Amino acid sequence: MTTDPEPSSRQRGEDTKVLVAYAGVHGSTRSIAERIAARLREQGLRADALPVEAVDDLRVYDAFVVGSAVHDMAWLPEALTFVRRGAELFVRHGVWIFSVGMPAALRGPWKAFAAKEEEHVAGHLIDELRPRGHRLFSGVIRPEHLSGTGRVKLRAMGLRYGDYRDWSEVDAWARDIARAVLGGAGPGGPA
Ligand SMILES: Cc1cc2nc3c(=O)[nH]c(=O)nc-3n(C[C@H](O)[C@H](O)[C@H](O)COP(=O)(O)O)c2cc1C
């Protein structure tokens, strides 16, 4: 009598499709989403990085990563609409969430404030979606992204403009996601 061999992790990956959906304005969130999807593919998974508005049928995906740029301490409205649309599937299949802000661009006393930002920005999403992981990444912030008043306000917060994306942090998180998806542990694992 023969028994079917366990599927190899490559075989499991080819059968598993991950959606990395994102909302952003100036390109950093898109770049991070595309990087995550590329790393997932390197690990053998099938992965699409798509803006939230371009996602058609959510039911073709087995796991989800959802990210948004942070504006005024909140996810963008289109990202929140997408979360409402997919919440039930996200909870059932497992979801990872990421926010892209500028904690690394702040100086002095505002650094401590930045450490609390994720709770403010994503706390309600964490309660609602029980994600398997969540991160607040830093993106790119340039003066031309802001209004005159915005520039004055952020200067007062010690903001230094620049590209604060930390690719090694993004890569490490994507590898954790791949490991968890390929490992097949159900939703509700460690964040
Ligand atoms: C109008 C505006 C408001 C912002 N508000 C915040 C904020 O409250 N907290 C934060 O961490 N970053 C804030 N940022 C910084 C952006 O989230 C950051 O630049 C991010 O990389 C933007 O992503 P994107 O390039 O995908 O649009 C703000 C940026 C803009 C343009």
Could you identify the residue written with the tokens 């390109």?
27
Which protein residues touch ligand 1 with a CB less than 6 Å away? 24-29, 69-73, 100-103, 117, 139-141, 145-146, 150
- Contacts (Cβ under 8 Å, ≥6 apart) of 11: none
CB 51 within 8 A of CB 190: no
CA of 53 to the centre of ligand 1 (A): 19
**Structural domain includes residue 185:** no
Out of 71, 72, 164, 170, mutate this one to test ligand 1's pocket (max ligand atoms within 8 Å of CB): namely 71
Q: What average pLDDT does the chain have?
A: 90
As for how many domains the chain has, the answer is 1
Residue 190 confidence (pLDDT) above 50: no
Selected residue with higher pLDDT from 11 and 162: 162
What is the domain range of residue 36? 9-178
Check which CATH number belongs to the domain holding 87 and give it. Answer: 3.40.50.360
Structure tokens, 51: 């803006």
- Contacts (Cβ under 8 Å, ≥6 apart) of 1: none
**Structural domain includes residue 191:** no
**Structural domain includes residue 184:** no
Out of 30, 73, 100, mutate this one to test ligand 1's pocket (max ligand atoms within 8 Å of CB): namely 100
Residue 95 confidence (pLDDT) above 50: yes
pTM confidence score:
0.91
Could you identify the residue written with the tokens 């994720």?
118
Residue 139 confidence (pLDDT) above 60: yes
**Structural domain includes residue 173:** yes
**Structural domain includes residue 160:** yes
pLDDT tens by residue, 40-89: 999 999 999 999 999 999 999 999 999 999 999 999 999 999 999 999 99
Question: What integer pLDDT is reported at residue 6 of this predicted model?
Answer: 58
CA of 55 to the centre of ligand 1 (A): 23
Residue 119 confidence (pLDDT) above 70: yes
Chain centroid offset of residue 52 CA? 12
**Structural domain includes residue 152:** yes
CB 85 within 8 A of CB 54: no
**Structural domain includes residue 187:** no
CA of 78 to the centre of ligand 1 (A): 15
